Amino acid sequence: MTDRLSGVLVFVQAAEAGGFALAAQRLGLTRSAVGKSIARLEQRLGTRLFQRTTRQQRLTEDGQVFYERCARALSELEAAEAALDSGRSEPMGRLRVTASVLFGRHLVAPLLWELAREHPGLELEMSFSDRVTDLIEDGYDLAIRVAPLADPSGLAARKLGAQMMVVCASPDYVARHGRPRTLEDLTRHEALTYGRQGQSKPWLFPDEKGGDTPVRVRGRLRLDDLEAIADAATQGLGIAWLPCWLIAERLHRGELVDVLEGVGRHGNEIFAVWPQNKHLPVKVRRAIDLLAARLPERLATAMQKPPRPGRKR
């Protein structure tokens, strides 16, 4: 019976993934293991479930019928497990989380490590990537995103806070080029911009109407890593628009200075995003609650002004 259920699970994953390779990735198996499992299932059923080509695998007519019934059965099993899970207070099982590289590493991971330490039955798997991940397709339980949902279909979200942005430069750069006083002044400075594939987004600042004022800046250096931009700014190569949490220590040490004090700071909203489900597993709910409770404090601490040189704290 165990082998039969295992084969059905592999089959459903392969059907939903559209191929053996992605199903193997989701299940933590090799592509060969997925192929052999489905071959055994086909042999037991006496029919071909997939039409295989060198590039893809498609369901046969029998495969489609079998998939629809198996998917319903697995859905019922998941609902039964969720009903039991809802009565638990202890998070258990594997929790797969994805977050952007720097934000995830600096702010999200330390909090989730605490959750893993407190609950020995929880298995934490984290992926750090700056690409937008398809949670459902890639099999993630939770994503932390620094942006609202572009396509909310099939997903639920909860706001966790906002990361404030600051325009900064090294004291050496300010001494050589002066300090910008207005947003218009930014266009006359050497900017260090974040961009990919030759494209850079404008810097955003809040306006009086509650919207955003975009400022198009120019510069010779365009990088796709925020920490590299902070390094370049520290070396005096230009001004940068960076999250407070990333440069807080550099501001504290005087390596960078806020060059637009008094000008409103734009806040990028932070969201927890997860596949919409009638029954939210305890492990996911506890992770979201922890982040919602602790992340705003960490973001607020990063926004505090560093003490001036020579003044005791």
Phi, psi angle pair for 224, to nearest 5°: -110, 25
Q: How far apart, in whole angstroms, are the C-alpha atoms of residue 42 and residue 123? A: 33
pTM, rounded to two decimals: 0.68
pLDDT for res 313:
41
pLDDT per residue of the chain (313 residues) written in tens, 0 to 9:
555 677 888 899 889 888 888 888 777 788 888 889 999 999 999 999 998 876 778 899 999 999 999 988 887 777 676 666 555 678 888 999 999 999 999 999 999 999 999 999 999 999 998 887 778 778 899 999 987 666 666 788 999 988 889 999 999 999 999 999 889 999 999 999 998 766 788 898 888 777 788 899 999 999 989 999 999 999 999 999 999 999 999 999 999 999 987 676 777 889 999 988 767 888 999 999 999 999 988 888 766 655 555 444 4
